[in-house]
Amino acid sequence: MQAELIVDARNAVGESPVWVPEENALYWVDIPAGALQRWSAETGQLDAWKTPEMLACIARHVDGGWVAGMESGFFRLHPRNDGSLDSEPLAHVVHARTDMRLNDGRCDRQGRFWAGSMVLDMGANAAVGTLYRYSAGQRGPLDARLNGFIVPNGLGFSPDGRTMYLSDSHPQVQQIWAFDYDIETGTPSNRRVFVDMNQHEGRPDGAAVDADGCYWICANDAGLIHRFTPDGRLDRSLAVPVKKPTMCAFGGPRLDTLFVTSIRPADDHDPQSLAGGVFALAPGVNGLPEPHCND
């Protein structure tokens, strides 16, 4: 089950892969570069668009284009064929500090967009990260839904939408939690430890949920993607040829390909290094279509 390099992207921090079936294409971001990127599975062509702020996470919009979590809040993005990109602020967040941005995010099964915030310097060990929810029609500053995180990450939702998963990637935490999730109100409750990643290789990073309800989490620093069953049992681990995988997503015509983004550390000057690339694996299971944001 060898990982295939599909794009030698050399992203500083590749994140948030999303498969778009009608385009037969994968989109993802490079956070510090403020870049929205697209790879065509049919032609292999790579396209990129520059955003006005660091770009952390994306979700498709029901009316076309994208909703994105950036530095100051949530935006609508419309990439154009000529390489230009239109951006429109939707709702801003009031960070606890000035040196913060949004991080990992995705939609719940009902189309509400969730994203967490973090301090840019992970070494600050600042537990001021907050989880925000953006849903249709909201404007102005968003209210915090959950807080007290250092690096909130690993958002995912069970196939029926009634369980929400969330992790904290920071080396001092390394936990994955499960929540009961009210699909009518979009409210998480009953937080409990789902997986203690201190007992496994790697730090928990971005995640995806497959059609069987199993949770796939990128194990940063270990070059692995772990699959956990709904009861929190490690089912299997797949290797990628880089140390720092960041987030995974199911795609391909049958949603049976697992795409994985990665980090290229600033001190990696090896021309043979694949770090920062985008990879594809055949995990032997199928994923679920990503919901559209319904703003």
**Residues belonging to the active site:** 205
Beta pairing partners, 202: none
Residue 66's SS3 state is strand
> What's the CA gap between 282 and 257, in Å, rounded?
5
> What's the CA gap between 219 and 169, in Å, rounded?
9
What is the per-residue DSSP string for 134-152? E-TT--SSPPEEEEEESSE
> What's the CA gap between 63 and 83, in Å, rounded?
20
Residue 199's SS3 state is helix
* Dihedral of alpha carbons 32, 52, 144, 112, sign: negative
* Dihedral of alpha carbons 68, 17, 133, 99, sign: negative
CB 213 within 8 A of CB 159: yes
Give which of 145, 130, 236 is closest to 182, Cα–Cα: 145
The edge-to-edge listing of strands for the beta sheet with 85-92 is 57-60, 66-69, 73-79, 85-92
Contacts of 63 (CB under 8 A, 6+ apart): none
CB 116 within 8 A of CB 130: yes
Number of helices and strands in the chain (H, E): 0, 24
- For residue 199, count CB atoms less than 10 angstroms from its CB and return exposed for 0-12, middle for 13-18, buried for 19 or more: exposed
